[in-house]
Chains A and B, each alone.
Chain A
Amino acid sequence: MGGLQKKKFESGAATNYITRNRARKKLQLSLPDFRRLCILKGIYPHEPKHKKKVNKGSTAPRTFYLLKDIRFLLHEPIVGKFREYKIFVRKLKKAYGKTEWSAVERLKENKPTYKLDHIVKERYPSFIDALRDIDDALCMCFLFSTFARTGKCHVQTIQLCRRLTVEWMNYVITSRALRKVFISIKGIYYQAEVMGQPITWLVPYQFAHDHPTDVDYRVMATFTELYTTLLGFVNFRLYLSLNLLYPPKLDIKSESELKEEDEDDYAMGSESYLEKLSALSASLARVVTSTEEEEAQIDLFPTEDNMEMMEEKEKEKKLLEAQMKIFEGLKFFLNREVPRESLAFIIRCFGGEVSWDKSVSIGSTYEMMDETITHHIVDRPNVDKRYINRYYIQPQWVYDCVNAKMLVPVEDYFIGVTLPPHLSPFVEEREGDYVPPEKLKILALQRGESSGQQQPEEEEEEEEEEEEEDEEEEDNDEEDQVEENKLKKMEEQRSQGKVKVTPGKVKMENPVRLEQEEKAEEKRLAIMMMKKKEKYLYDKIMFGKKRKVREVSFLKSRNKYSLLWERQTKK
């Protein structure tokens, strides 16, 4: 024995953690400042494994941070800025209290500010890191840019967010990166693929805000502060990668087209350029004006194994390119009741031309009277004056086309027609899951089958057949049944008539079929040879599968009635 007695809580978990209050005191910051610092630096609270040990015997719920993290925070230069700001506020208050206006002026001029550039660089050491984390930034910026310019947050922040989001949208348009769109009851989800990274963001509907009281605006504003900085740098880099000018400039040609209108009606001189950019109807200027983009070609190394891979890749690439140009050559006109920004963004993303009424927004390129317009997007029960040479369709058509990656037949989307459901492109059905019939239709269309004339029943049969292929056992059972039926018929024939000798038919032996049968036989044997335990497990699995199939088929059978019912209720 011997040695000093060990004291409790002087080693181990208790020394690895620090409570929030102690951390705050160590940094000499107020709680809001501490919170802000943690958010900016990306240091998050940590839940210890053994709370009682960490909390020195107490079980009171506390927020813990890792001590090493807080030590790391001590080196941050922004901490000093926070302290300076605290002192600045104190001095300003004092000056106000003493009504020393000159002092107030002087203090305000020398207001301490800080920049987050170094933090962005530190948190995202490479561009790809930043791109992976851009989802949050985009959501937040899109959200803040729709806020009213009231006292909820700084007007400057809102303006900055608007600028950044417009830049982002312009980038997506120019790079044709948009992949999926989903109109939900919350807002519109977009997914783009930038540099191989899928990026999802959520855009709120315009004018849809009631400000909830249980949200901490200060925390949100702090996140936004970081994200605006991040998004700005990412935008810069993306523009650089496409050889575009940054800050974005409109193309000279398109700018001259836009200039015809009187701009003063829409915005102040200082804001009109941003407004024109945000109209999304004009393309951007490039650093080097090249007529055609040089398309990166995959280097070919023709080895025999590689050939197929290469061919496949090229096929995919061509397909993708075709998908990116689905609206090319089409001319859209947006009526005033449709969401302009969203539709203009999508249509331009896929190469279409778009315009709207002059009085709706700045940046319209052609009038409604234009004879070359192919699609007129309307969202009202009827239109008084119609042109013969254009389709009048509802806005959902555009979204569904994007998700289907092809031009969906227009007939279902005419004015006054009950729309087919808008399906989520973010769902990926696994084998055996219930697939909505509309999706099957689209899949069939994508495969190149024209299902426009087909009746729904036929389709269902098709589906069933597909499923049957999946389940071999069922298949076999049915075959047995078919054979039995044949035998029965033969017997009946025999009983009815006399015995006859008919010329024998050569039974065609299908090698594929034979193989399948053999396999099925093998499987059956294998099942027979199973141990009791394994057999039990196998039965269980198969039961689960069958149950799923049963449910799906049940849903399908109900589908018809439910649709009917739904239509009736809607009417």
Chain B
Amino acid sequence: MAAARRLKRVAASQPGFLTLKSNSTDLLSGRRKRVNKNKKKSWNKHSDINDVEEFLNDIRHQERTTGGLLAEKSDDSLFFLDVGQPLNDAQRDKPVEEEPVERKKRKGRVSRPLRIDLILQQDSLIPPPKDVLAYQQPNAKKLRRSAQRLEQLAAKGVVPRKQRQLLNRRPVERTTLKAVTEANNNPNRDYYDIWGQELKDLADPWYLQQTCKKRVQRPERLNEKPSTLPAVEVIAPGGSYNPEFFSHQALLKAAHEVEVVKQKEEDKIKRQLAVNKEDTATMETIFHEELEGLVEEEKEEEEELKDEEDVAVGAIVLAQKKTEKQRKKERALKIKEQRRMANRRMNNRQQQLFQLRSIKASIKQQDQKTKVNQIRRKAKQEAEKSQPRRLGKLKFQPQDMEVQLSGELAESLRQLKPEGSILKDRFKSLQKRNLIEPRERAKFKRRHKLKYVEKRAFKEIT
């Protein structure tokens, strides 16, 4: 009996062993409550496991704080020999107190970690459990096998299919793509022999034509120039920087003539716009104007009325009706006249037989005239080819002639002052050759009227 009791005690002291003793004692002491013990649920409900929990908590606490069970620790690690305080206790204390003050002054609170961080810090001494999954590899076996197989194949010298495909793939043509994005005015662009090789379209011409991919041939008409003028017109010899006297004079004269024509036109406009002195109002004319209609008005009106009546009566008068006899007579006369004319025509035609020579001469004359006209017209057309045409709203205006007066001429090349602008010269040349239409710079048009508002701040000052 004693042996059995001892065994029980030992078992109870072992962790994880449920003791039913206390329960049984309770039950024994109080009313016995009948409980089904055939189900786990009721076990959990009616068994008291507090002491086990406490025990386990204690063990966990020990592990957390010390890193193991206290019972297993060696004595050295748990205890130390207390020798007592050192001799100069009081002396030592003072600097200890002073130091933190100094530190506070120096570094403030920056050096000390924040309390929240301290709270969040892990304080258990149990190392975290290893992540098993981190060491596992999915499909490890399969992969290992395949790698082995590859090694074997490589040893045999067989290239796997994937690699073969990669090797066989065409290289991507980057160069063509780059050429497309290159701008036209890139200063380092490359040129090639454009007239050398004939580009051959590899595709089926029928296909190209049907899909509108074939270049349309340029019509021959477009290769003709719209003007026969040369691209670069060399300035007259008088335009030399050091001109010969007479050619310079000739150039000056030409420029002068241009100016004269301009001046004449201006004068003409001025003349046309000039106010006639007789048309200006004087006191007298103003007075007459004011009097107009006040005196002699009635008489004039009456006369006018009379005139109007006469005219109206005249217009209304109708021609009298013709009689039957008159009509017959007229008809007869008409027919007679027609016959007479027909006779005359016949006669004339017959007479022309005898005029053959003069007719021939006249025909010849006419032919000659037309020929002359044709030649003249052709010459005119030729001349017009070198003229600027009217291509738009504005007419072509030649630029001012570049001329330096004899005083302006430079004595040496160093002192030469260039005259006119070549940019303008080129632009005008393009217009003159009918390549572009003369145009004025678009004027800025304000859509809405500007509204001026005086700001209040400004107003106060003024």
Contact = CB atoms under 8 A, between A and B. Distances in A.
B427 A394 contact: no
B245 A61 contact: no
B331 to A, nearest CB: 29
A394 B244 contact: no
Given A379-B412, A379-B413, A68 B219 contact: yes
B234 A426 contact: yes
A75 B216 contact: yes
A199 B246 CA distance: 28
Interface stretch (B19-27, B154-162, B354-362, B431-439): B431-439
A202 B422 contact: yes
B241 A570 contact: no
A566 B412 CA distance: 15
B191 A200 contact: no
A521 B424 CA distance: 59
B386 interface: no
Contact of A436 (B222, B244, B413, B416): B244
B218 interface: yes
A237 B197 CA distance: 12
A394 to B, nearest CB: 7
Given A63-B437, A379-B413, A421-B243, A185 B218 contact: no
Interface stretch (B176-184, B261-269, B344-352): B176-184
A201 B422 CA distance: 12
A389 interface: no
B427 A436 contact: no
B410 to A, nearest CB: 8
Interface string B207-230: 000001001101101110010001
B195 A423 contact: no
Interface string B388-432: 011111000000001110100001111011111111111100100
Given A42-B222, A208-B418, A113 B183 contact: yes
Nearest to B251: A185
A183 B189 CA distance: 33
Contacts of B190: 247
Contacts of B422: 139, 143, 186-187, 202, 204, 208
B326 interface: no
Contacts of A208: 418, 422
A187 B231 contact: no
A246 B191 contact: yes
B186 A212 contact: no
Interface stretch (A214-222, A303-311, A318-326, A359-367): A214-222
A116 interface: yes
B447 to A, nearest CB: 19
Contact of B423 (A220, A338, A427): A220
A424 B231 contact: no
B242 A396 contact: yes
How many of chain A's residues touch chain B, expressed as a range? 35 or more
Contacts of A113: 180-184
Nearest to A155: B187
B218 A122 contact: yes
B195 A237 contact: yes
Contacts of B182: 113, 115
A247 B188 CA distance: 10
Contacts of B221: 68
A559 B242 contact: no
Contacts of B226: 44, 46
Given A42-B222, A394-B413, A421-B240, A47 B389 contact: yes
A424 B237 contact: yes
Contacts of A216: 427, 439, 441
A205 B245 CA distance: 24
Contact of A186 (B191, B215, B237, B425): B425
B360 to A, nearest CB: 22
B68 interface: no
Q: Is the interface of B mostly helix, strand, loop or mixed?
A: loop
Contact of A45 (B192, B212, B437): B437
A209 interface: yes
Contact of B231 (A130, A135, A220): A135
Contacts of B434: 44-45, 47
Given A182-B240, A212-B421, A122 B184 contact: no
Interface stretch (A171-179, A225-233, A254-262): A225-233
A69 B222 contact: yes
A28 interface: no
Contacts of A236: 191-194
B392 A200 contact: no
Interface in B234-278: 234-237, 239-247
Contacts of B426: 139-140, 143, 220
A195 B216 CA distance: 31
A424 B245 contact: no
Nearest to A124: B195
Given A44-B435, A185-B404, A422 B427 contact: no
B242 A213 contact: no
A156 B186 CA distance: 6
A61 B247 contact: no
A120 B424 CA distance: 25
B462 interface: no
Given A61-B393, A113-B183, A160-B185, A240 B193 contact: yes
Interface in A556-571: 559, 562-563, 566, 569-570
Contacts of B134: none
B232 interface: yes
A56 B187 CA distance: 48
A210 interface: yes
A154 interface: yes
Contacts of A42: 222
A436 B441 contact: no
Contacts of B232: 135-136, 139, 189, 200-202
Interface of B: 180-187, 189-196, 212, 215-216, 218-219, 221-223, 226, 230-232, 234-237, 239-247, 389-393, 402-404, 406, 411-414, 416-427, 430, 434-437, 439-441
11 contacts: A44-B226, A61-B392, A72-B216, A111-B181, A185-B404, A186-B422, A202-B422, A228-B185, A233-B192, A379-B412, A436-B246
Q: List 7 tightest A-B contacts by C-beta distance, closest first.
A: A424-B237, A159-B187, A135-B231, A421-B244, A47-B389, A185-B419, A232-B191
